[in-house]
C-alpha cells in the first residue's frame, strides 16, 4: 500500500515518538505466555520489537521485568491487574515524547506501512488518540496516544474503571476506519491476534503458509 506520506517516514522525524510493547497480559486463554510463542522461528515478542523499530529506536516493553529484560528496556504497571489501560498508563508515565505508539505482543501480522501511516496521521493532527477501526470495532491497543492522555487514564484507573475506550476524550479521537475507500489497501486481518491455542495453531499453519506461497508466485 502506498499513500502520500504513509509508507515512508524519515527516521530523523521520529525523535518525537516512543513505542511501547504491551506484554503484561495474563495469557489465561492461551495457557502459556504468548510473548514467547514461536512462529516460523521467531517469538511473538520479536515480531513486535521489529515492528516498533520500523517507527522508532525508542522502545520499551511493558511487562514483568524478569520475563523481558533480555529483550530490551522494561517497565512495569503502576496500577496492578488493571488490564491494558494500566499498561498504557505506565507507558505514558515513562515516556518523554508527546507521541506514543502502543503495540500488543500478540499481533504478529501488523502492517508496518500502516503503522507509519497511523503515526503520520497522529503527527499531522490534534487528536489525543489516533486509533484504527475495522468491522470488529476499535483497536485501541494498536494506536497512537499523546502524552496528555495520561491524566485521563489515571483518573479512570483511580475510579476502578478499566475499560480503555471509556477513558477516551469524546472530542479528541482520530479514527482511522479501514472501511474508508482511501484505506482499503490495508488488510483488516493485520489486527488478528492470538489469544487461544487454536488461533495460534491456525496462524502457524495458514497465515505464514499463505505468505510463503505469495512470495514464490
Domains and CATH numbers, the chain: 13-216 (3.90.550.10)
Rounded distance between C-alpha atoms, residue 75 and residue 64, angstroms: 7
> What's the pLDDT at 24?
73
Cell 501511516 belongs to which residue?
A: 117
Enter the C-alpha cell of residue 17: 515518538
Residues of the chain with confidence (pLDDT) below 70: 1-14, 25-32, 195-217
Q: What is the mean pLDDT of the chain?
A: 85
Q: Which residues contact 2 (CB under 8 A, 6 or more apart)?
A: 113, 185
> What's the pLDDT at 197?
60
Neighbouring C-alpha atoms within 13 Å toward the C-beta of 89: 24
Per the CB < 8 A criterion, the answer to whether 92 and 147 are in contact is yes
Rounded distance between C-alpha atoms, residue 44 and residue 17, angstroms: 22
Per the CB < 8 A criterion, the answer to whether 111 and 184 are in contact is no
Burial 36-46 (b: 16+ CB within 10 A, else e): bbebeeebbbb
Helix 83-94 to helix 150-158 angle, to the nearest 10 degrees? 140
Enter the C-alpha cell of residue 176: 482511522
Give the pairing type, strands 99-104 and 59-62. Answer: unpaired
For the entire predicted model, the pTM comes to 0.85
Per the CB < 8 A criterion, the answer to whether 92 and 100 are in contact is yes
Looking at the chain, list the stretches that DSSP marks H as alpha helix, in order from N- to C-terminal side: 44-53, 65-68, 83-94, 112-124, 150-158, 197-202, 208-216
> What's the pLDDT at 9?
45
> What's the pLDDT at 12?
43
Per the CB < 8 A criterion, the answer to whether 17 and 99 are in contact is yes
Per the CB < 8 A criterion, the answer to whether 205 and 197 are in contact is no
Amino acid at each position: 500500500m502506498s499513500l502520500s506520506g504513509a509508507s515512508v517516514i524519515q527516521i530523523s522525524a521520529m525523535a518525537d515518538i516512543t513505542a511501547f510493547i504491551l506484554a503484561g497480559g495474563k495469557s489465561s486463554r492461551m495457557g502459556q505466555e504468548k510473548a514467547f510463542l514461536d512462529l516460523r522461528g521467531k517469538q511473538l515478542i520479536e515480531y513486535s520489537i521489529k515492528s516498533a523499530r520500523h517507527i522508532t529506536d525508542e522502545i520499551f516493553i511493558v511487562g514483568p521485568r524478569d520475563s523481558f529484560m533480555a529483550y530490551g528496556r522494561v517497565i512495569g504497571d503502576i496500577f496492578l491487574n488493571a488490564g491494558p489501560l494500566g499498561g498504557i498508563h505506565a507507558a505514558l508515565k515513562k515516556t518523554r515524547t508527546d507521541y506514543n505508539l502502543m503495540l500488543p505482543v500478540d499481533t504478529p501480522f501488523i502492517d508496518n506501512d500502516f503503522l507509519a501511516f497511523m503515526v503520520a496521521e497522529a503527527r499531522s493532527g490534534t487528536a489525543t488518540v489516533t486509533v484504527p477501526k475495522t468491522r470488529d470495532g476499535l483497536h485501541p491497543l494498536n494506536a497512537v496516544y499523546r502524552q496528555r492522555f495520561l491524566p485521563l487514564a489515571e483518573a479512570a484507573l483511580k475510579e476502578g474503571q478499566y475499560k480503555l475506550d471509556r477513558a477516551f476524550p469524546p472530542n479528541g479521537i482520530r479514527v482511522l476506519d479501514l472501511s474508508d475507500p482511501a484505506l482499503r489497501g490495508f488488510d483488516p486481518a493485520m489486527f488478528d491476534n492470538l489469544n487461544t491455542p487454536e488461533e495460534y495453531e491456525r496462524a502457524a499453519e495458514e497465515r505464514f503458509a499463505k505468505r510463503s506461497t505469495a512470495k514464490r508466485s
